[in-house]
Structure 1
């Protein structure tokens, strides 16, 4: 964008907008006034130029800065505004002599801009020029794509939002650009924040659980924004989800009971069995990941050798998954004598078939299952389901590129995702 399209105006050689330039018509002098500043602005096209493609219809390179020049030493630039169709302004700087304005922030790609230039000559007469142009789109390989999750639908109040990036973003400044463009709004409104799980994934959750019956919408203003060297934001499909009732199931591994709360009211107390010594159920808050009416659980998938005293191969009904590594809440009729009395499972929370069916029919994806008083490890924050609620709010905010620098807390490997279940 270094060439200028020149044309003749008022018998002089001048530089005009080489894109879709629209100049305001010359204004008439106000009647009955000798004050030049009270007159309508005159057409400043004959001495204002800006850098752009030399052929009409071409689009500007968003990697090049925008520059506005006054070619008349007696006609100073007093103000420049550059705004795209989305209302985003381009920051710029005007020289002390008023002869040059240049952008100090990158233009957006794939955007249409309107430039308004105000001038003033030595006699105090005001001039104006309006220009319009478009910037080109970056190549596909130069675009950062974002996919919001989960899918549209109704979830429990513990469901975090996710943002998957099409390529890793490691630079802190680039992370700030990305995160600043990802917006989450809820009705009712609540305080929340993004957390960088790793270079390609962010999670969003509020300070407390989502309100019941809330509407949550995630959007992106990343399209056309320059993130880094030759990397631009792509269009992002928005996401809208709703929450249902507030359902929280609390398993006390010491008393061998699960209490299910709906909207903070206890609606059912269920005798259960949790993980026995050596296979203790994880403590902490977990989020329901899905429900399977039938799962075949094999001990070999969780590292127990076939033929050992701990091996099993069981048909399991009404299985509600809470970790990728194989923790479920499910029917366990084979251990009925231990329900409410002892922990004998390999990590899952077992109960009668009737209670398991009721639980299966009651909860939905995103509902909360909390385990207390187990001798097991704490639920991993990330990598084995949604352990987001086990990170306190101060640490969570430190995981935002805008408010902190907390190291990533990714836990567990991909192998955890391959395990069908532990009975």
Structure 2
């Protein structure tokens, strides 16, 4: 009988155990509670306490497991930095560049499940340059230039990190144009096309220089932009042996003028071979060369083509030689009427191709961009 009672007791225990496991699949204790949801997690970029932050670097605050109720980033003067919050309320980003050498402070709050709230707080400091370097760009906005015009950016101080600067430069054209940047020296970088610009090309340039580290503690002062137009295709063909200049426009002869070039017997007074460009135009130019006996000489309809001293200009005093002999001091002399007509036809940036001389112009007098071969030009890029 004892064995039967033991068996019945075991069966009853199993039935009670099965009955206990059949409700909801688990047992609960009246004292147990659901775990609290995790609070929102805020991430700052740059991190709290960061220093030497580039003022153009991405600046944002984001939250996981929640959304922002308010986000404010202020500078040292308490002014709010402009920014935008994403539609889902989880990320806020600045929409303007910051300043150099300033401390910025976060404030606000993020809310999560169960109305759990956490503060947004922290600060960071931007880099303080040893020097902020100014730059200028040409051509300027809204001008029309000739087909040989280069884009030129000049800096107030030497640039050490040329590759970083060059990566910040953008050229957009209304039609495909092959070109390249080249560093003419530590304070100037130019862009020119492989061949002359196509006529009537629209050009847009952006130099994103603010925040660029030039090296040695120097940074860019400001971004630069310009938009300009290339005009008709005009080229001056200047063969010194022909005693003329021929003006070609859009592939056809536009004008031809008798001329007198530099003296062939004196290398200092040659009109040297090379592709010059029209740099400036003045109705009257005062010319000086005391070594050759003249100062304060006024010449009309002066078109500068080199900083070495070459012009195309009127010289009625040399009329007897114009079209016959080369007797100038290196300039291209025309009669008054022809010089005036050419003056009014010329655009800044037009090429002037001098040939037939016994010497070449060395590539060191501005503007000498077209004195260099394409291979030489590309070798002067920092990238």
Tell me how far apart the structure 2 counterparts of residues 222 and 133 of structure 1 sit (CA, whole Å). 29
Equivalent of residue 331 in structure 2, options 321, 344, 348: 348
The structure with more radius of gyration: 2
**Correspondence for 1:147:** 136
Shift of 1:351: 1.2
**Correspondence for 1:23:** 63
Q: In structure 2, the residue corresponding to 1:359 is in which secondary structure? A: helix
**Correspondence for 2:305:** 322
- Structure 1, unmatched stretches of 5+, are 1-8, 27-42, 44-55, 60-81, 87-107, 113-130, 403-423
Shift of 1:133: 8.9
Tell me how far apart the structure 2 counterparts of residues 165 and 236 of structure 1 sit (CA, whole Å). 12
TM-score by length of 2: 0.68
Tell me how far apart the structure 1 counterparts of residues 356 and 295 of structure 2 sit (CA, whole Å). 26
Alignment CA distance shift 1:240-1:265 (3 Å) = same
**Correspondence for 1:254:** 241
Shift of 1:325: 2.9
Shift of 1:369: 1.1
- Structure 2, unmatched stretches of 5+, are 1-34, 49-59, 76-90, 105-119
Equivalent of residue 379 in structure 1, options 349, 361, 367: 361
Tell me how far apart the structure 1 counterparts of residues 39 and 65 of structure 2 sit (CA, whole Å). 19
Shift of 1:197: 0.9
Equivalent of residue 370 in structure 1, options 326, 340, 353: 353
1:11-410 to structure 2, matched below 5 A, reads 16-17=42-43, 21-25=61-65, 57=73, 136-139=125-128, 141-152=130-141, 153-170=143-160, 174-228=161-215, 230-276=217-263, 277-278=265-266, 279-300=269-290, 303-304=291-292, 306=293, 311=294, 314-376=297-359, 378-382=360-364, 384-402=365-383
TM-score by length of 1: 0.62
Tell me how far apart the structure 2 counterparts of residues 284 and 320 of structure 1 sit (CA, whole Å). 16
Tell me how far apart the structure 1 counterparts of residues 361 and 315 of structure 2 sit (CA, whole Å). 23
Q: Which string of whole-angstrom CA distances, capped at 9 and with x for unpartnered residues, describes residues 329-367 of structure 1?
A: 011112222222110111110111111011001001111
Q: In structure 1, the residue corresponding to 2:320 is in which secondary structure? A: helix
Q: Which string of whole-angstrom CA distances, capped at 9 and with x for unpartnered residues, describes residues 24-66 of structure 1?
A: 445xxxxxxxxxxxxxxxx9xxxxxxxxxxxx8477xxxxxxx
Q: In structure 1, the residue corresponding to 2:272 is in which secondary structure? A: coil
Q: In structure 1, the residue corresponding to 2:162 is in which secondary structure? A: helix
Shift of 1:144: 4.0
Alignment CA distance shift 1:182-1:351 (3 Å) = same
The answer to which of 199-208 and 320-329 deviates more is 320-329
Contact 1:287 1:385 in 2 (8 A): no
- Name the count of aligned residue pairs: 298
